Amino acid sequence: MDFLINESQLRIILQEQDQSKMTDYMKELYSYTSNLVVKAKKSFGLNLKFLLTWGTSVGGLVMPLDAYIRTGRFDLTEEQSSLILFGVACAYFYENSKAFKTILLKIKEEGLEETFKEVLIKSKNLKDSFLKFLSSINSTLGSSSDLLAYSFLIPIIGDILSASNGGDLQTTAMTIAKRLVASGVVVVGQVALTQFIKKMIKKFS
């Protein structure tokens, strides 16, 4: 039996698919951070469980850098790549810790200081681009911790804008925020996230 749906219903289905993809991606980001913590313990005896507090936010910032390292420009072993990523993650989320100092020492021992600096510069460029984006939507995020808390959105900005196409602004923003928070791995509250997404959609609509 064939079922016919109108354009409005089709748009809703497509939006739900996009939003489901975003929720799945949140879990992927958290899983990425979890794996990073496991690698740190297994390979170097480092306890980086604190990074799980930021979960998806760590993944949002570090995962693109992982892809950057794997472009082939760097001749690194898997453990060396992980060590660089541990260093970047701790530089933003765990800066004054003993673990961070231990990582920097290991990076120096491995002769990876220049590589670490290059990847760290790349991370700062990514952060600066995100800051400019926040400024362009008149975001009220003020502190560095606010910025880092929302960094889980970096990989899915395009998906959010795609899912919002043609929908009611408030409803769309609320629905996306609700789904992301419902993933159980986002540290930002639904109300604040809804307002943030609303501003984002409004900027590009």
**pLDDT one-digit tens code per residue, 20-37:** 666 777 888 888 889 989
End-to-end CA distance of the chain: 38
Confidence of residue 164 (pLDDT cuts 50, 70, 90): low
Looking at the whole model, is its pTM more than 0.85? Answer: no
Non-local (6+) Cβ contacts of 67 within 8 A are none
The CA angle 73-121-153, to the nearest 5 degrees, is: 95
